[in-house]
Amino acid sequence: MITATFHKYTLQFKRPSGTSRGILKTKGTFFIILSDGVKEGIGECGVFKGLSADDRPDYEEKLQWTCKHINLGLEKLLEELIEFPSIQIGLEQAFLSLKSADRFELFPSQFLTHQDPIDINGLIWMGDKQFMKSQIQDKIENGFTCIKMKIGAIDFEEELQLLKHIRKEFSPADIELRVDANGAFAPENALEKLKRLSDFNLHSIEQPIKQGQFEAMAKLCETTPLAIALDEELIGVFSKVEKEELLQRINPQYIILKPTLVGGFKGSEEWITFAEEKNIGWWITSALESNVGLNAIAQWTYTLQSNMPQGLGTGSLFTNNFDSPLEVKNGKLQYNSSKAWEFNLKK
């Protein structure tokens, strides 16, 4: 017999972080704790306010329902919670954690045993030109060979100047550059902006226009001089049929999978299957989870054996994150098992 409880936790940003949706100072999250009377299992439900499909008034009510019905078992619960992807991934983690010898080691692999690292991109947060410039310099000095820059918040011409500055010093062979527009461009001028961005030999652009504009996005993906990666477009697409239809209709160059937002590990693997059938590339990104969620997503990502840099470097953003063996070194995420976990919800 398993018992379950959930706990709310507020992560505090070290520095207010800018996105095209505004400035983030805090990030709420929830933890599901399972117990079989002997051991505990932990999972993070990292609902993302204003972005998650399950950012709904009945979210905590659904968490209560989940805890009450925990003995339905994981498979049945995942079916029942299809519209609550962040609860799905919390449960996937918690059940794996309960079964594991170490509650934080969920996917046995060389990532855990041999500190075999995962290549990740360095994330540049939005801000004024000087702040973005200093972040870029910092990432390069810290060994990143792939940088992802959020654009769409400051003047477009200034953003182009930043990219020009990077490219003047670093060739595409030195630094892979990705940009993320978070839907900031208008459909009528998006293609023109993509043409200008393509001058800087960028790897790709995430979500150039807002999600839900299927015809406009499909046309952009067909005519773009710069590879397009769908991100927000995948949020709220729950069934296998809908997933396959969306990829068929838009036919992007890449998709970006945030497991917390797109149905956990199982839901993400469905997207990957459909994408690979259509020769669409993919990579995995965390979504401002604490180190508990990031750890689970990183371990799972390692098992997929992708050779692309992944978006898994957000653990250092918060003042009250949980101490963990996760370390970012030379542009890579690794698991240093000589470091201990400290999971304390009163932190």
Residues 40 and 33 sit within 8 Å (Cβ to Cβ)? yes
Alpha helices by DSSP H, the chain: 59-68, 74-80, 85-99, 110-113, 129-141, 156-169, 187-197, 214-223, 240-250, 264-277, 291-304
**Which amino acid is located at 261 in the chain?**
L
Q: Is 266 a catalytic residue?
A: no
Q: How far apart are CA 334 and CA 326, in angstroms?
A: 6
Q: What does DSSP assign to residue 204?
A: E
Angle ∠(257,146,294) on CA atoms, nearest 5 = 45
Q: Is 150 a catalytic residue?
A: yes
Q: How far apart are CA 166 and CA 58, in angstroms?
A: 46
| Paired tokens of 320 | 């009250």
Phi, psi (5° rounding) for residue 73?
Answer: 95, 160
Catalytic position from the list 193, 243, 258, 332 = 258
Q: How far apart are CA 243 and CA 265, in angstroms?
A: 15
Strands 22-35 and 40-45: antiparallel
Q: What does DSSP assign to residue 300?
A: H
Q: How far apart are CA 72 and CA 51, in angstroms?
A: 29
Task: Annotate 121-140 with b (16+ C-beta within 10 A) or e (fewer).
Answer: bbbbbbbeeeebbebbeebb
Catalytic position from the list 148, 150, 193, 332 = 150
The residues annotated as belonging to the active site are: 150, 258
